[in-house]
């Protein structure tokens, strides 16, 4: 059967935690979730898979529908998180008009969190809930026909007027049983990142699940149990991306550095394989040491990112992330010693955060002195402990995300924690902190020395230009 997977364009999305000018220049990452399920769907020969990345190609829903009509798929799969649900719905509507007989199934975080509300939308014929590799392969094996689906987990749909809920698909216990992501479905030239001047850029996920319990983080389809691909699988993942012409690989594990022995084995494998592919990894302060980071740097890692979130110990406790700030400073210093570039994530507008707390964050950000910072406004994501607390305490007028799920529209305003700052205030603070960090002479000089050309330097300045003038 012919399966078409679509990553909807992000023109109709809920804007929440970043100024629009930052959103506009972040770059395009390949839809790694679709590459993973595509590989699983075609592995056993049950599906011929096509992919349209409307976001990267800047296609309208009508343009995507026209291309889909030419492909004449037997089954269409789309993906959505809460923030991209308006775009996914608009895309499904256009597909419904162009190919009314072709079933449209939706996967991702939104149908996982709000299945009843999502299925009630007439544009979708069924939902895949949980990790999608096995359910989508099963659906393809049955020709996309609901009548042939049994009680295999992962499906939520209507059949003959009855609701069929087979439960959430169980997490994949052994990730190495899954095939390598289908990078060959991509047009590499479409993908890049503001993090690097290298182009094109691919991404990868080498583990799933996060064992931490930060109060601002949504429940994930991958769960809390940490599971990881073995070193040999990861090295092969790098090799495939390299052989397809990608110039860098961004590893988007929730936390890549949880298992030190695994990280060292991956680094050893990459060195012995001789794969010259610069890469990035995400870490937390308590999971790294200088030995690990030195091994990562020797294996081609160039960038390491940390979620610091705040320079206020009180705020960090409120977020369920009690990071020792002095240890964080030492870790960033060690990263610099071994030659890794660092990126630190910070948020403002956190629950019960005061102006003094924000001042502590600003001062610590400068003291930490990472190569890059990513500043965002704290947003209450659905299915997070802090959001549930706000609903239960009546700090919000209703369960806003559930109401949104019944009629997702891009005009929806994602909720921020009620406090002494308005949303406009918080975005102004973000812009001010960006200026405070990046307009220091040492940062300007460091940026100039690290970039490959004056042209790249000017492009980086344009990234901050709108913030500087606001």
pLDDT digits (tens, 9 = 90+) for 345-399: 999 999 999 999 999 999 999 999 999 999 999 999 999 999 999 999 999 999 9
In a domain, 449, yes or no: yes
Digit-coded pLDDT (tens) for 315-325 = 999 999 989 99
The answer to whether residues 20 and 155 belong to one domain is yes
The answer to whether residues 374 and 194 touch, using CB atoms and an 8 Å cutoff, is no
464 φψ region: left (φ > 0), alpha (ψ -120 to 50), beta (else): alpha
Helices within 244-373 (DSSP H only): 260-273, 290-298, 313-318, 325-338, 355-368
Q: Do 329 and 365 fall within a single domain?
A: yes
Q: Are 3 and 52 in contact (CB under 8 A)?
A: no
**Structural domain contains residue 343:** yes
Return the minimum-mean-pLDDT range out of 13-17, 216-220, 362-366, 420-424: 13-17
Structurally, the chain folds into a number of domains equal to 2
CB atoms within 10 A of CB 210: 19
pLDDT of residue 197: 86
Q: Is residue 8 within 8 Å of residue 55, measured between CB atoms?
A: yes
Q: What is the pLDDT of residue 25?
A: 57
Q: Both 20 and 150 in a single domain? A: yes
Q: Is residue 291 part of a domain?
A: yes
347 and 439 both lie in a single domain: yes
Q: Are residues 147 and 199 in the same domain?
A: no
CATH code of the domain covering residue 17: 3.40.50.2300
In Å, what is the CA distance from 457 to each residue of 228, 341, 460? 37, 17, 5
Residue 141, pLDDT score: 94
**pLDDT recorded at residue 45:** 85
In a domain, 202, yes or no: yes
- Domain membership of residue 409 (yes or no) is no
Position 454 confidence tier, pLDDT thresholds 50, 70, 90: low
Mean pLDDT, the chain, integer: 92
In-domain check, residue 49: yes
Domain region containing 74? 2-165
Candidate from 293-302, 349-358, 397-406, 423-432 with smallest mean pLDDT:
423-432
Same domain for 304 and 341? Answer: yes
- Whether 384 is covered by a domain: the verdict is no
**Residues 266 and 361 occupy one common structural domain:** yes
Nearest by Cα to 80 from 125, 116, 117, 112: 112
| pLDDT at res. 463 | 55
pLDDT of residue 10: 87
pLDDT of amino acid 456: 56
Give the pLDDT confidence of 101-137 residue by residue, as tens digits: 999 999 999 999 999 999 999 999 999 999 999 999 9
140 and 208 belong to one structural domain: no
Identify any residues that bridge with 76 across adjacent strands, giving them in sequence order. 4, 104
pLDDT at position 252, please?
Answer: 96
CA angle 22, 194, 20 (to 5 degrees): 10
Same domain, 247 and 339: yes
Query: Distances in Å between the alpha carbon of 245 and those of 189, 208, 274?
Result: 9, 26, 15
The predicted structure's pLDDT at residue 46: 85
- What is the model's pLDDT at position 295? 98
- Tens digits of residue pLDDT in 174-230: 999 999 999 999 999 999 998 888 999 999 999 999 989 899 998 788 888 999 999
d(CA 340, CA 297) in angstroms, rounded, equals 6
- Summarize the confidence of residues 399-408 as an average pLDDT: 96
Going by pLDDT thresholds of 50, 70 and 90, the confidence category of residue 451 is: low
* Mean pLDDT, residues 21-43 taken together: 84
128, part of any domain: yes
User: Is residue 156 helix, strand or coil?
Assistant: strand
Mean pLDDT of 236-253: 97
For residue 330, the domain's CATH number is: 3.20.20.70
Ramachandran category for residue 160: left, alpha or beta (phi over 0 → left; psi -120 to 50 → alpha): left
Distance CA 110, CA 117 (A): 10
125 and 234 belong to one structural domain: no
Do 134 and 196 have their domain in common? no
**Alpha-carbon gap, residue 455 to 155, rounded angstroms:** 50
Torsion of CA 26, 29, 31, 36, to 10 degrees: -140
Confidence of residue 462 (pLDDT cuts 50, 70, 90): low
User: Same domain for 118 and 257?
Assistant: no
**Partners of 207 in the β-ladder:** 228
Residue 445 above 80 pLDDT?
Answer: no
What percent of the chain has pLDDT above 90?
82
């Amino acid at each position: 059967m012919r399966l078409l997977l679509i990553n909807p364009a992000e023109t109709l999305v809920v804007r929440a935690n970043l100024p629009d000018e930052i959103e506009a220049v972040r770059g395009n990452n390949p839809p790694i979730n679709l590459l993973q399920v595509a590989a699983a769907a075609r592995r056993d020969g049950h599906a011929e898979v096509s992919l349209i990345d409307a976001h990267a190609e800047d296609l309208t829903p009508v343009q995507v529908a026209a291309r889909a009509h030419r492909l004449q798929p037997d089954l269409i799969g789309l993906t959505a998180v809460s923030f991209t649900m308006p775009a996914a719905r608009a895309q499904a509507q256009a597909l419904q008009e162009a190919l009314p007989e072709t079933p449209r199934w939706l996967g991702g975080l939104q149908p996982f969190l709000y299945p009843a509300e999502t299925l009630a939308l007439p544009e979708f014929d069924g939902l895949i809930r949980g990790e999608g590799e096995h359910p989508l392969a099963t659906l393809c094996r049955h020709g996309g026909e609901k009548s042939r689906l049994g009680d295999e987990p992962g499906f939520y749909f209507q059949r003959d007027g009855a609701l069929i809920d087979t439960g959430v698909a169980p997490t994949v216990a052994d990730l190495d049983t899954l095939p390598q992501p289908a990078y060959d479905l991509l047009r590499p030239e479409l993908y890049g990142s503001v993090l690097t001047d290298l182009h094109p850029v691919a991404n990868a996920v080498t583990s799933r699940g996060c064992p931490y319990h930060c109060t601002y983080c949504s429940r994930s389809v991958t769960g809390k149990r940490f599971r990881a691909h073995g070193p040999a699988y990861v090295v092969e993942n790098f090799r495939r991306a390299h052989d397809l012409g990608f110039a860098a690989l961004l590893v988007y594990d929730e936390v890549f550095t949880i298992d030190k022995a695994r990280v060292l084995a991956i680094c050893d494998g990459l060195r012995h394989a001789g794969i010259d592919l610069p890469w990035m990894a995400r870490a937390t302060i308590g999971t790294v040491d200088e030995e690990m980071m030195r091994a990562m740097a020797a294996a081609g890692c160039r960038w390491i990112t940390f979620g610091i979130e705040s320079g206020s110990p009180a705020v960090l406790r409120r977020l369920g992330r009690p990071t020792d700030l002095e240890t964080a400073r030492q870790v960033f210093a060690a990263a610099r010693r071994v030659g890794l570039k660092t990126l630190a994530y910070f948020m403002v507008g956190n629950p019960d955060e005061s102006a003094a707390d924000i001042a502590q964050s600003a001062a610590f950000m400068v003291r930490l002195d990472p190569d890059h910072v990513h500043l965002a406004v704290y947003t209450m994501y659905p299915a997070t402990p802090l959001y549930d607390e706000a609903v239960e305490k009546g700090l919000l007028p209703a369960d806003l995300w559930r109401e949104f799920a019944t009629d997702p529209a891009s005009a929806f305003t994602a909720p921020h924690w009620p406090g002494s700052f308005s949303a406009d205030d918080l975005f102004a603070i973000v812009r001010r902190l960006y200026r405070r960090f990046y307009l220091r002479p040492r940062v300007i000089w460091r940026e100039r020395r690290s970039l490959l050309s004056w042209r790249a330097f000017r492009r980086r300045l344009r990234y901050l230009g709108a913030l500087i003038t606001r």
